[in-house]
Structure 1
Amino acid sequence: MAGAIVDIDLRGLLTFDQAFARIEHLLQYPEPLLGDIGEYLLLSVDERFDRREAPDGTPWAPVSEEYAERKAAGKATKRSGAVTDPGDILELTRDLRRLTRYEVDGESLLIGSDREYAATHQFGDPKRGIVARPIYGMSDEDNEEAARLVIEHLTDAVDDFG
């Protein structure tokens, strides 16, 4: 046959279908992806405590003068080993930092603490004069990292078919 010839190999189309099947599987069973995002968010929350700021970058309000005095005097809690530096916001016992966990539940990723006072600090309690100092949430940087992890998992799903 004279002219141009294009050889179409149907095996390449099957590989393409397999790649899409792996992507579909990742979307149906996102637990490994959500687990990686959860691990990242634990590091992000830990850094948030170091920077003393909310996910949106807003600095946490300092503790009240009354509480700072009680904390400095070691009278803010009866637990031994408590932090007495009033500048260490939300770190009296370090439980909020240490006991932050994530859980993958099907297609959802949950992050937080089982400490009841975590909600008080996250949302505030005006009746008790406690201002909100958000700990949990997604910063712009967290969103970018989550997107990067999604791309990484999608790339890994199709790498064998490249």
Structure 2
Amino acid sequence: MISVEVNDKQISATLDGIEGKLANQADLMAQIAELLLDSTVERFQTGTAPDGTPWAPKSSTTIAAYEARKEPVSLKPLIGPTKSLSSITNFATASGDDWARISSRAIQSAVMQFGAQQGAFGAFMGIDKRGRRHFHSIPWGDIPARPFLGISAEDEESVMAAIKEWIFPS
């Protein structure tokens, strides 16, 4: 075993400061959650997953459905008429002494994040406005995964910079 004794006051004070900060990381974790929130919201503008791959484009069927309902159409993936999924108000951040989390409140979040196969959630039977019976799968077509939650290489750099600044403020 190697033992090191530090007799330098400045080094000792710095090490004591680091030890004190490591005991309570809540402020750092809250800052990390906010960093991840900002980059997640930005992904909706760039249309890219955390790994940098572009999201699958909207299908022509989806665009036609918006147009048939006379709803505004954005060609950007995951930007619907209400913009609820892409809105910063859709997301929640939380953190504790040693953890940080960002989550989405939107009901469609998991399907957009992971995708879904046609019929994955069963089927719907009903009667349309003209009294005709109809049956369709839920979802009615395959939905490709468009991951928006996650940590990108840029996020890693931002988090590491925040940690360094937190431990050794300038």
Normalised by the size of structure 2, how large is the TM-score?
0.73
Does the residue aligned with 2:168 lie in a helix, a strand or coil?
helix
The answer as to 2:13 corresponding to 1:18 is yes
Which of 53, 56, 62 does residue 51 from structure 2 map onto? Answer: 56
2:40 counterpart residue number? 45
The answer as to 2:95 corresponding to 1:104 is yes
Deviation digits for residues 6-37 of structure 1, max 9, x if unmatched? Answer: xxxx5x43x43332222122222111112222
Q: 1:87 to 1:95 in 2, by over 3 A?
A: same
The CA deviation at 1:59 is 0.8
Q: Is the 8 A contact 1:72 1:86 kept in 2?
A: no
Structure 1 CA distance for aligned equivalents of residues 67 and 18 of structure 2:
55
Larger strand proportion, structure 1 or 2?
Answer: 2
The answer as to 2:84 corresponding to 1:95 is yes
| Comparing 131-140 and 17-26, the one that deviates more | 17-26
Equivalent residue letter for 1:90: L
| Number of equivalenced pairs | 139
Larger helix proportion, structure 1 or 2?
Answer: 1
CA RMSD of aligned residues (A): 1.9
Gaps of 5+ in 2: 1-6, 121-138
- Stretches (4+) displaced over 3 A: none
Deviation digits for residues 57-92 of structure 1, max 9, x if unmatched? Answer: 1111112221110123336xxxxxx6x224132121
Gaps of 5+ in 1: 1-9, 76-81
Q: Is the 8 A contact 2:50 2:147 kept in 1?
A: yes
1:77-88 counterparts in 2 under 5 A? 84-88=72-76
The CA deviation at 1:39 is 1.8
1:105-124 counterparts in 2 under 5 A? 105-124=96-115
Normalised by the size of structure 1, how large is the TM-score?
0.76
Which of 129, 133, 137 does residue 146 from structure 2 map onto? Answer: 133
Does the residue aligned with 2:16 lie in a helix, a strand or coil?
helix
Equivalent residue letter for 2:27: P
Structure having greater relative contact order (Cα 8 Å, sep ≥ 6): 1
Percent identity of equivalent pairs: 31
Structure 2 CA distance for aligned equivalents of residues 87 and 35 of structure 1:
34
